[in-house]
Structure 1
């Protein structure tokens, strides 16, 4: 890997977190894939696309089908192994392991940078987006999805059921996965990084978390932040928290699985 400054995230995504996402690639795509078209609709046939935090590579492959080429970059070795295996028959896709904050992208090598929930964990977001800006051609575009605040959302309701047993597993709104939940902060970061015409649009889609409540509860309990907090409490408390999680999922269960209405910010801008 060429240079890492975000060492904490590199450790997580090359450890349990990345291994869990790689082992459950289809399930995470079922959670997040409903919003793919928000990004793919911006891909043109002549575009050279950069997928930031590409993970298991579903979005990268789909972008490649519409573009001249697509390249994915991620910190996670386990997920990149999955991404490469699944793109073995896609000739215009490449994947590279690296830290977006410092990766030596070819200047002006891409026309469009996209990301599906892969930009929220930069140690220095201004530096990361400035580096992405340098990787874009003049007038190049940026479009990414990031989490909204959890308050008032279906996922916030589910995680709220765990509040009696341990802290919010994603951290306070505005940090961690919700670090770009405030559009004013997002616009400020991107403007400082050299982007113009920054727009934040709230979008929604169904997220499939499991085939039934026990299945969805096991999956969420195995997700890194929840698993971490479950391990920090005694076994009896962990059992009660897991029961509360299942109960919170019950209202979202139906014949086609456990579906939560997911919310995100679609953030767009262009290189100045």
Structure 2
């Protein structure tokens, strides 16, 4: 399983600074993955609570194991689609998400549903990726694996990671979903792929985008692509890990 917590460590710091979680809060974490953000929220909110929501059973299984290991009792995880799940209405005092909101089929419906779970005036703070061409991790790995060849329409359509990249669209979506005071802050931090080239190669090949791009190549082309990937990772090995540039939006809003 790809280690998103390590990859996004710098972004996690920026999100955490913006959250300012207070004791007694009831926190809803959308797209929680393996639960790092949920566990951190549970500790900060105690004696309040934190609920993590995700659609991945394997990630949630790891999240539950880690919460038990850390002795957290004010935390829970549920497998659900946040677009349609029936949350307790007006229950949560804070909503958060670390790159977990970009894949909704109907974003207005999804954020409307999330908003119903928040108390009036409650904040919702999330990180989303900016445009693909502002993500070195995307452009450099794509160039290495595809060598200038266009990805298929099916592969392009499957990649929704950048669906909330346009600020005006984000404002329109959240406003339509019943949020106010929408604000976007530019976050410019690198992402981490491993301690060295070999570790980063193993990590990258676990990513869906890498698997999809390689699947479009014949055996000989795939072998050449992997050689190019190794060279790209070598070039980004700082001696303190393999890092790629990235940009995100830190989006905050309030339920009306």
TM-score, normalised by the number of residues in structure 2: 0.90
Distance 2:217 2:131 in 1: 26
Seen in structure 2, the aligned counterparts of structure 1 residues 172 and 186 have a Cα distance that, compared at 3 Å, is farther
Contact 1:143 1:268 survives alignment (8 Å): yes
In structure 1, what is the Cα distance between the partners aligned to 2:149 and 2:5? 27
| 1:160 to 2:133 alignment | no
Residue 94 of structure 2 aligns to a residue whose secondary structure is strand
Which among 40, 45, 49 is matched to residue 62 of structure 1?
Answer: 40
Q: 1:84 to 1:166 in 2, by over 3 A?
A: farther
Q: CA deviation at 1:151?
A: 1.3
Query: What is the alpha-carbon distance in structure 2 between the residues aligned to residue 83 and residue 102 of structure 1?
Result: 22
Separation in 1, partners of 2:151, 2:208: 13
The residue aligned with 1:229 is 213
1:211 aligns with 2:195: yes
* 3-state SS of paired residue (1:49): strand
Residues 141 and 171 of structure 1, relative CA distance in 2, 3 Å threshold:
farther
SS in 1 for 2:90: coil
Moved segments of 4+, more than 3 Å = 165-173
Deviation, structure 1 residue 79: 0.6
Correspondence 1:28 to 2:4: yes
Paired residues, number:
248
Aligned partners of 1:164, 1:255: CA distance in 2, in Å?
A: 26
Q: Give yes or no for contact 1:211–1:258 (8 Å, CA) kept in 2.
A: yes
- Aligned position for 1:115: 97
Query: Which residue of structure 2 lines up, in the alignment, with residue 180 of structure 1?
Result: 164
User: Compared with structure 1, are the counterparts of its residues 161 and 232 closer, same or farther at alpha carbon in structure 2 (3 Å cutoff)?
Assistant: closer
The alpha-carbon deviation at position 232 of structure 1 amounts to 2.6
CA 1:158–1:253: 2 relative to 1, 3 Å: same
Partner of 1:267: 251
1-structure distance, mates of 2:24, 2:149 = 49
Note the residue ranges of structure 2 that are not aligned, 5 or more in a row: none
Deviation at 1:176? 0.7
Q: Deviations over 1:211-259 (max 9, x none)?
A: 2113212321221221122123211111111112222222210222111
> How much does 1:168 deviate?
5.2
Consecutive unaligned residues of structure 1, counting only runs of 5 or more, are 1-19
Q: Which one of 198, 207, 210 corresponds to residue 182 of structure 2? A: 198
Q: CA deviation at 1:98?
A: 0.6
Q: Which residue of 2 aligns with 1:93?
A: 75
Per the TM alignment, residue 172 of structure 1 is displaced from its structure 2 partner at its CA by 5.5
* Aligned counterpart in structure 2 of residue 256 of structure 1, from 230, 240, 248: 240
Q: Per the alignment, do residues 180 and 248 of structure 1 end up closer, same or farther by CA in structure 2, a change over 3 Å counting?
A: same
